[in-house]
Structure 1
Amino acid sequence: MRLDLQNKRVLVTAGTKGVGKATVDLFHELGARVLTTARKRPADDSADIFVAADLTTIDGCNAVANAVIANFGSVDIIVHVLGGSTAPGGGFASLGEDEWQRELNLNLLPAVRLDRALLPGMLAQGTGVIIHVTSIQRQLPLPESTTAYAAAKAALSTYSKSLSKEVSPQGVRVVRVAPGWIETEASVALAERLALQAGTDYEGGKQIIMKSLGGIPLGRPSTPVEVANLIAFLASPFAATITGTEYVIDGGTIPTA
């Protein structure tokens, strides 16, 4: 099975690390023309076009949208990978106004703003795919540390579903990918830190994280490439009638269907 993404015009946010970089690399390999963005450009960037921007700001989103239009005219595929959390542990009481606003600015509003800027071009051409990367945390939040992040991702998922109902009749598919724990650079650092605190090795640190999630039946986290593979399939013509749905890739972490 050969995914056909030749000459597709693609925007991937947060495309310099983890799932974002894996997605940029795979789309580039499959023949797409890729514009990506992050705050700083890395030395090993494989995108055709890179825009340095802070997408947690209105100005940053406008700069990326303008670059897409200037370089591509319109866009065929948007992959919203940007997300994460800097909120402290300690439950609801540790989350002030600033923490809540940061989580929304990182996990919800960039997708809303970029979609608003770029969807008119997709609708005018009568085709396109938007993929929002959500999280299983919207269904499986950890009260100690991910309440604000989980709430922002839940909002992104609801927004995505509503958008799909509006624009799918006009030829633009909107789908969601909900990863569980992914073995990115950041998660490796977390596992190593937990291992050091517990006096164990890296594998022991991974077990600590998996236990906090209630276990991963598959026995390991997903890799960034595995998530990128799912994203590429959903963006391809093989998924031509898939819209409005969310695809979980979590090794079986969520205990219900």
Structure 2
Amino acid sequence: VDIVVHNAGGAGPHPGALAIPDEEWQGALDLNYLAAVRLDALLAPGMRERGAGAIVHVSSAAVLTPVGPFLHYVAAKAALESYSRGLSLELAPYGVRVNAVSPGRVATPGGEATRERWARLNGAPSQTNADDTTPLGRDGQPDDIANAVLFLVSGRAGWLTGSNLIVDGGEFPRG
């Protein structure tokens, strides 16, 4: 294996952080963080032995502005980002690069279902597009994220490790 991309993720909204049951905190950690740790434990040793490889973990730009209803998801993705940076330092001397991609709002069936659940919890109409919330005026598309991942695993990103590429159309403010 030369390339590992961990793209599992998700968790449903709640009225607030204190309303998230323990089992959903654990589920969010298992899916959004520990699954990547386990996958890397299986595949990274072979990359290290060969002296080459690229690992990309898909996080979330929501880590930039964590909110209570999704705090279990965001906390797990923040752990994934920290883990990615730490693993990059461990594997870099062996020629293995580890990076993360943090998507913003992407038009996928799972994302739409989560946004609809969130709107119902708030008694608000479902927002079907990002025209008003994203500076680039549109939802991201799966290809937008895939292209970022392709860049990070390519030779063109050969001097990038420990990085987090935020692909969000400007949705999440950063300083």
5+ unaligned residues in a row in structure 2: which ranges?
A: none
Q: CA deviation at 1:231?
A: 0.5
Is it true that 1:157 corresponds to 2:81 in the alignment? yes
Is it true that 1:100 corresponds to 2:22 in the alignment? no
Q: In structure 2, how many angstroms separate the alpha carbons of the residues matched to 1:93 and 1:245? A: 32
Give the letter for the 2:112 counterpart. V
Per-residue Cα deviation, 1:36-63 (whole angstroms, up to 9, x for no partner): xxxxxxxxxxxxxxxxxxxxxxxxxxxx
Q: CA deviation at 1:113?
A: 0.6
Partner of 1:121: 46
Q: CA deviation at 1:90?
A: 1.3
Q: Secondary structure at the match of 2:127?
A: helix
Partner of 1:180: 104
Q: In structure 1, how many angstroms separate the alpha carbons of the residues matched to 2:124 and 2:90? A: 50
RMSD of aligned C-alpha atoms?
A: 2.1
Length-normalised TM-score, structure 1: 0.62
Give the letter for the 2:109 counterpart. E
Q: Secondary structure at the match of 1:90?
A: coil
Match of 2:16 among 68, 91, 94: 91
Structure with bigger RCO (C-alpha 8 Å, 6+ apart): 2
Q: Secondary structure at the match of 1:116?
A: helix
Q: CA deviation at 1:192?
A: 6.5
Is it true that 1:218 corresponds to 2:144 in the alignment? no
Structure 1's 99 and 198: CA in aligned 2 closer, same or farther, altered over 3 A? Answer: closer
Structure 1's 163 and 198: CA in aligned 2 closer, same or farther, altered over 3 A? Answer: closer
Q: In structure 1, how many angstroms separate the alpha carbons of the residues matched to 2:77 and 2:161? A: 18
Is it true that 1:235 corresponds to 2:153 in the alignment? yes
Q: In structure 1, how many angstroms separate the alpha carbons of the residues matched to 2:63 and 2:131? A: 17
Q: In structure 2, how many angstroms separate the alpha carbons of the residues matched to 1:246 and 1:131? A: 9
- Higher-Rg structure is 1
Q: Spell out the pairing of 1:9-158 with structure 2 (5 A cutoff).
A: 75-86=1-12, 88-143=13-68, 145-158=69-82
Segments of 4+ moved more than 6 angstroms: none
What is the number of equivalent residue pairs in this alignment? 172
Partner of 1:168: 92
Give the letter for the 2:27 counterpart. R
Q: Secondary structure at the match of 1:146?
A: helix
Per-residue Cα deviation, 1:157-206 (whole angstroms, up to 9, x for no partner): 000000001111110000110001100012334567759x767xxxx722
Q: CA deviation at 1:123?
A: 0.6
Q: CA deviation at 1:111?
A: 0.5
Give the letter for the 1:243 counterpart. T
Is it true that 1:256 corresponds to 2:164 in the alignment? no
Length-normalised TM-score, structure 2: 0.89
Q: In structure 2, how many angstroms separate the alpha carbons of the residues matched to 1:236 and 1:101? A: 34
Is it true that 1:206 corresponds to 2:128 in the alignment? yes
Identity of aligned residues (%): 43
